[in-house]
Structure 1
Amino acid sequence: MHTTIKFTLLAIFLVLSNTVQSDEAASGINFSGDILSRTKLTGDWGGIRNDMAAKGVTLDLDATHVTQHVASGGFDGSLLDKFPGNRISSLLPGNSETASDGMFNMLLKVDTGKAGLWSGGFLTVRGEGRVGDAVGIRAGGIMPTNGDALSPNVPGHSNKDVLALSEMTYAQFLSEKFGVALGLINTADGDKNEFAGSLRSRSHFMNAGMRFSPVVLGTVPVTTLGVTAIFLPTKNIIGTMGFVNSEESAGYNPFERDKGTTFLTEWQISHTIFGVTGKQTLGFAYGFDRNSLDFGADPRFQLASLVTTGETVRTNADSWVLYYNGHQYIQGDAEGGWGPFLRAGVSDGHPSPVKWNVAFGVGGVGMGSWRPK
């Protein structure tokens, strides 16, 4: 596909995440209050933060620290001895059974309408960093036990100290039901579930296999140039459709990482059954023109190939994935309720060895008055 056409189409998919962010900005978050009740630890900065938000500018920083220990078993390095020199070693914190790492996220959002410029415009800039070691595959599973440590996903820097620009997008709504966006997009909020979270989540499961469908990682990068469109046909339906470069771009010049193209679309339907709410999400991705794209940059998905052939995966073929997630409140709502959730995905199994996945459980918030959050 011609680069200009590809880049233009890519902006369509970005709008969904920016729409959600704009809704949050429009809700009028108040940063004031005492340390036990305010929304952010550092408060309103003497009122400056509230004034900035009122004028369409929000600045946020969050940090997470994780220490994990492999209690028994796990991967002891024998695979490295069998296949010396492969890139799987980058995910191992030496020979230690205990690993400790920290992740931080810096986010700037600008609402051009509130800023007195023009209506319907939203700028999002995100930087992410990671320090220390994660348990990685030392625990013995393909899916990491610490999903937080996957970001930023800088190729060749798994489980290393890194700082990267992971998002810079601009979205413009042309009407209440349609908008477009383009730039360096971040797909970590995709496949989001209210009970199970997403790859971005810091308040749900830690195991990455519960936070999103792992079938997508062979086709959908986390950070890449893209263009998307968003559709809001009714108040209960939100959909996105667009194209992105298939090559991961975090930490690199994104204009030099354009091997392959991925088509993405995701649709969410909110509903009410017997007076309680729920949501269904369905997504599809198709990757093409992926000539000689080397997936060895993500060694978590090389285990199956390494064990059987001693080589990392390469492909010249197209690939596709289909994923679904849904949740349904049985009692209450987002302010205090609970219910079941289901997440599932299928792929053609090339290049990712994950051909299908299923995750399910029960989640909620505010199960009792003694613990309202």
Structure 2
Amino acid sequence: MRTIIKIALLSSLALSDAAQCDETASGVNFSGDLLSRSKLTGDWGGIRNDMAEKGVTVDLDATHVTQHVASGGYDGSLLSKFPGNRISPLLPDISETESDAMFNMLLKVDTGKAGLWPGGFLTVRGEGRVGDSVGIRAGGLLPTNGDAISPAVPGHTNQDVLALTELTYAQFLSEQFGLAFGLINTADGDKNEFAGSIRSRSHFMNVGMRFSPVSGAAVPLLTTLGASAIFMPTKNIIGSAGFINAEETAGYNPFERTDGTTFLTEWQFKHTLAGLPGKQTVGFVYGFDRKKLDIGADSRSQLASLIQTGEAVKTNADTWALYYNAHQYIQGDSKGGWGPFLRAGVSDGHPNPIKWNAAFGLGGVGVGSWRPNDNWGIGGYALGASDEPLVNQLGINDETGFEAFYNAAISPWLHVTADVQYIDSALTGANLPRVNLPGPKEAWVVGVRTNLNF
């Protein structure tokens, strides 16, 4: 029962990344020599294994990203002509090459293994970020470095931050049903085995490939108060449904940021096709009472870095979004194989600045028998802008992009990703009072990501 409960918890509510699941439950421990053990710092003289046996795991991982705008995007000399007023003063300081680092600290307690009561799981997470990303220099509406937007502290885009991003308790009442509540982290939602999620550090880098941004008007990027029910009617169907606050609360008192409420539900369906595994995920969100949406404060787009309008989209209407993703192996499985993936989403476009999105491509695990632990992906994305007056005023149209990555497992605790992107930007030119900023050129961006698990 415990193993089934863990699978449901990890998959349906996205309370923890699959790569950070309980070590001992999966038959792996922290011991071993430097190149074979699961974590860099090992078993701490046996203490770490003993803690895991008693239901307590502590993880720390760090990710460093360097990206270079090889061509196109915004010209730095052009941006420096707008050192304030409506144009963000950050822009003249962003060069063609930037580096930043992200930190993730995770504590998990299994109350059953701890000898307290069965079926309880406590998760505490803190995240930090230092350095700069290339941001708007690449010219895309969506960030080319999705790792750099966490933690998503409002008003601190591209700044050094440290925040509590999860404090959640989940209690399973049976093998088919559980409840979770607290400071919920949403970054693993809309997860795809080949394309990744917002939290992933081993898949695509561009935000457009990692999740469907149509949910942005109703679901905060990372952290908010909420409660959810978890369902697992069969071993192949896992679902969740609940309510959360619509505002991002990372770095703030969550009880003071309560503008709007969102109902959300996500369901995953595992299946086989010609004996090969696959999975489909469908999610729906509906936002109530969202009086305004500051589209310049959401780090899932570059608007906060490009334009400081002092305006927000005001609305008295509810908002909704529907998203879908799927992957299907056409050779092998998660231990070594490849196949296509697809994700798509649509919203009412009010007040969400993105009306629809799509991403598709090929992904795989392993390259023959000589690189079994590597993974790779190649694909493209597209998005369509809504007809909100402020969105039109900012000169936002449709955007398309392409990306390819290869993630090499140097050891179980060290992964290095090479990445290349092409962006045909949605930003055609901003026309606001005292500002007439031309649109960016089509851009090529190359990057290297290093993920280290301690």
Q: By the TM > 0.5 criterion, same fold?
A: yes
SS in 2 for 1:217: helix
**259 and 80 in structure 1: CA distance in 2 versus 1, 3 angstrom threshold:** farther
SS in 2 for 1:73: strand
**273 and 356 in structure 1: CA distance in 2 versus 1, 3 angstrom threshold:** same
**15 and 193 in structure 1: CA distance in 2 versus 1, 3 angstrom threshold:** closer
Could you tell which deviates more after superposition, 276-285 or 25-34? 25-34
Q: Tell me the alpha carbon deviations over residues 257-311 of structure 1, each in whole angstroms, 9 at most, x when there is no partner.
A: 101001100000000111110000000111111123433322664749x88x956
Q: Tell me the alpha carbon deviations over residues 97-123 of structure 1, each in whole angstroms, 9 at most, x when there is no partner.
A: 111110010000000000000000000
- Asked whether 1:56 is paired with 2:70, we answer no
- Asked whether 1:321 is paired with 2:318, we answer no
Contact kept? 1:87, 1:296, Cα under 8 Å: no
Residue in structure 2 matched with residue 372 of structure 1 by the alignment: 372
The one-letter amino acid paired with 1:74 is G
Residue in structure 2 matched with residue 264 of structure 1 by the alignment: 264
Residues in 2 aligned to 1:24 and 1:174: alpha-carbon distance in whole angstroms: 21
Q: Tell me the alpha carbon deviations over residues 235-254 of structure 1, each in whole angstroms, 9 at most, x when there is no partner.
A: 00000000100111000000
The one-letter amino acid paired with 1:212 is F
Q: Where do 1:279-358 residues align within 5 Å?
A: 279-298=279-298, 301=301, 303=303, 312-316=311-315, 317-358=317-358
Residues in 1 aligned to 2:12 and 2:94: alpha-carbon distance in whole angstroms: 44
How many residue pairs get aligned? The number is 359
Contact kept? 2:17, 2:188, Cα under 8 Å: no
The one-letter amino acid paired with 1:148 is D
The one-letter amino acid paired with 1:24 is C
Q: Tell me the alpha carbon deviations over residues 196-251 of structure 1, each in whole angstroms, 9 at most, x when there is no partner.
A: 11000000011111111111222210210000000000000000000100111000
Q: Where do 1:111-130 residues align within 5 Å?
A: 111-130=110-129
Residues in 2 aligned to 1:22 and 1:174: alpha-carbon distance in whole angstroms: 25
The one-letter amino acid paired with 2:61 is D
SS in 2 for 1:361: strand
Residues in 1 aligned to 2:298 and 2:267: alpha-carbon distance in whole angstroms: 27
The one-letter amino acid paired with 2:213 is P
Deviation at 1:81?
A: 5.7
Residues in 1 aligned to 2:18 and 2:177: alpha-carbon distance in whole angstroms: 16
SS in 1 for 2:354: coil
SS in 1 for 2:14: helix
SS in 2 for 1:69: strand
Residue in structure 2 matched with residue 16 of structure 1 by the alignment: 13
**299 and 228 in structure 1: CA distance in 2 versus 1, 3 angstrom threshold:** closer
Q: What root-mean-square deviation, in Å, do the aligned CA atoms of Structure 1 and Structure 2 show?
A: 2.6
**87 and 370 in structure 1: CA distance in 2 versus 1, 3 angstrom threshold:** same
Residues in 1 aligned to 2:205 and 2:18: alpha-carbon distance in whole angstroms: 23
Contact kept? 1:126, 1:165, Cα under 8 Å: yes
> Unaligned 5+ residue runs, structure 1?
1-11
SS in 2 for 1:149: helix
Residues in 1 aligned to 2:353 and 2:293: alpha-carbon distance in whole angstroms: 16
SS in 1 for 2:195: coil
Q: Tell me the alpha carbon deviations over residues 57-93 of structure 1, each in whole angstroms, 9 at most, x when there is no partner.
A: 0000000111111112212365786794347555x47
Q: Where do 1:176-191 residues align within 5 Å?
A: 176-191=175-190
Specify which structure has the higher proportion of strand.
Answer: 2
Contact kept? 2:287, 2:319, Cα under 8 Å: yes
Deviation at 1:349?
A: 1.6
Residue in structure 1 matched with residue 409 of structure 2 by the alignment: none
- Asked whether 1:151 is paired with 2:150, we answer yes
Residue in structure 1 matched with residue 164 of structure 2 by the alignment: 165
Residues in 1 aligned to 2:148 and 2:61: alpha-carbon distance in whole angstroms: 14
Residue in structure 1 matched with residue 360 of structure 2 by the alignment: 360
Residues in 2 aligned to 1:281 and 1:329: alpha-carbon distance in whole angstroms: 15
Contact kept? 1:93, 1:99, Cα under 8 Å: no
**219 and 14 in structure 1: CA distance in 2 versus 1, 3 angstrom threshold:** farther
Could you tell which deviates more after superposition, 214-223 or 53-62? 214-223
The one-letter amino acid paired with 2:363 is G
Residues in 2 aligned to 1:14 and 1:252: alpha-carbon distance in whole angstroms: 28
> Unaligned 5+ residue runs, structure 2?
1-8, 374-454
Residues in 2 aligned to 1:57 and 1:13: alpha-carbon distance in whole angstroms: 16
Specify which structure has the higher proportion of helix.
Answer: 1
Deviation at 1:328?
A: 0.4
Residue in structure 1 matched with residue 237 of structure 2 by the alignment: 237
TM-score of the superposed pair, with normalisation by structure 1: 0.90
SS in 2 for 1:277: strand
Residue in structure 2 matched with residue 7 of structure 1 by the alignment: none
Residues in 2 aligned to 1:267 and 1:42: alpha-carbon distance in whole angstroms: 37
Contact kept? 1:74, 1:138, Cα under 8 Å: yes
Could you tell which deviates more after superposition, 200-209 or 15-24? 15-24
**160 and 237 in structure 1: CA distance in 2 versus 1, 3 angstrom threshold:** same
The one-letter amino acid paired with 2:173 is L
SS in 1 for 2:93: coil
SS in 1 for 2:13: helix
**264 and 133 in structure 1: CA distance in 2 versus 1, 3 angstrom threshold:** same
- Asked whether 1:135 is paired with 2:110, we answer no
Residues in 2 aligned to 1:73 and 1:40: alpha-carbon distance in whole angstroms: 40
